[in-house]
Structure 1
Amino acid sequence: MARGFKKRQGRYVARLDAVERGLVVGLMEQVRELVQPADAAQGAEGGDEFDRIVAGLGGVGMGVSLAADDQVQLAGGVPAPRDPALDRIFPTANRQDDQVAAEFRQLTEQGLRARKTANLDTAIAALAHLEEQKVSLDQAQAVALVVALTDVRLVLGERLGLKQDDDLELIEEQVSSLEEDDPAVYALAVYDFLTWLQETLAHALLP
């Protein structure tokens, strides 16, 4: 059973079993595919993990790995719209002027992608190769994991349709009448678990 993070002797310690770590690492790897710089994304295969998690929520789930230009090609070579999860992770700099926002994104987004990818790599490495349930992070790893969990929750929240705080209560009401093995119940449980894990680590990081 998972135990949240606490600060002990200058390190940030929690307990996660192999399944829990595998879940967190798998989701971070999927988000890394989404946010990595365009040149690194070329040739990447589409990820299905988010699709499986949100299956049954209504509509068609979207994978989280994209083509190099953040778009996938539809029939006839027509590009699909930009994944809305990217706009959650990289919010527009100017909501009043789309052209200014697009120009700013062109200048800055690749650098932001590189930094987020490096941060996710740090968080993944901190969790991926543990041989025991104890997780022990130094300051840099703890900060990287908090930020990585934010990005994962933003993407999963977009897949779940969470746009504002009230949406979470609405979805919780909707899934309360579903069977326990319904994918929607599992998806919401994953989101709640990530939220709890991030909150315990953020609290431990406070002075």
Structure 2
Amino acid sequence: MSGHFEALPDGGAAVLLDEVEISILRSLAVQLLELIGPGDAPAQGEDPLAALFAEGPSEPPADPALARLFPNAYSDEDEELRAASAEFRRFTELDLRSRKREDALAVVRSLDGLTVEERGAGEAGATLRLSGEDSRRWLGALNDLRLTIGARLEVADEDESEDLYRLPDSDPRKPMVMAYLWLGALQETLVETLMGR
């Protein structure tokens, strides 16, 4: 099971993670939460029902990573499509941000709930067991993390990600590239596990 997800009989998934992997995943999820932002909670005394009908932004984010997480619904080839994208964003982005926050929080909470044990040879780790619902949340968060890192690495298509394998160790992007590739492998095995049902 080490390094890849496997199916559990109850419909969930499990993966063996070492202490360093747990720390990296938690740190990345927390950074994702910071990037997405805290969300808009109703002000004290404000009607919580009114908050459900709050409108979001109509302009795409300026940060390339956020723009990848919250893309335009339509191309911006002409004025009509730009207006349709703005309208769509205004009514959907707040919910999308909330879901992405919940996915990242699920990752942090499940990692915080692990009990790390010695595995021999000075290595420590834990087996992460996820329910079916948590598996879907993890899948969303892994995807969001890869999109964010891919934006920071300026990866635009699959051909460019192949070039990442050939970066020399001296390249300052190498740690980010290794995280991007590792997250991709985790995501792939989790997808295979969930589709195997």
- In the superposition, the TM-score normalised over structure 1's length comes to 0.72
Q: Does 1:196 align with 2:185?
A: yes
Q: Would you say the 8 A contact 1:122–1:141 is kept in 2?
A: yes
Between the aligned partners of 1:27 and 1:160, the Cα distance in structure 2 is 15
The structure 1 residue matched to 2:151, chosen from 149, 155, 158, is 158
- Letter of the 2:29 partner, please give it: M
- Letter of the 1:20 partner, please give it: E
Q: Does 1:28 align with 2:8?
A: no
* Post-superposition offset of 1:5: 0.9
The structure 1 residue matched to 2:109, chosen from 125, 128, 136, is 125
**Secondary structure in structure 2 of the residue aligned to 1:28:** helix
Between the aligned partners of 1:102 and 1:127, the Cα distance in structure 2 is 37
Deviations 1:44-98 (A, max 9, x none): xxxxxxxxxxxxxxxxxxxxxxxxx8x9xxxxxxxxx711112211221121332
- Which entry has the higher C-alpha Rg, 1 or 2? 2
Q: Does 1:82 align with 2:62?
A: yes
Instruction: Write out aligned runs for 1:1-207 (5 A).
Output: 2-10=2-10, 11-36=12-37, 38-39=39-40, 82-95=62-75, 96=77, 97-132=81-116, 133-173=126-166, 175-176=167-168, 178-179=169-170, 182-206=171-195, 207=197
RMSD, matched Cα: 2.5
How many residue pairs get aligned? The number is: 167
**Secondary structure in structure 1 of the residue aligned to 2:71:** coil
Counterpart position of 2:49: none
For structure 1, list consecutive stretches of 5 or more residues without a partner in the other structure: 41-68, 72-80
For structure 2, list consecutive stretches of 5 or more residues without a partner in the other structure: 42-56, 117-125
* Post-superposition offset of 1:38: 4.4
Q: Would you say the 8 A contact 1:6–1:204 is kept in 2?
A: yes
How much identity, in percent, do the aligned residues show?
33
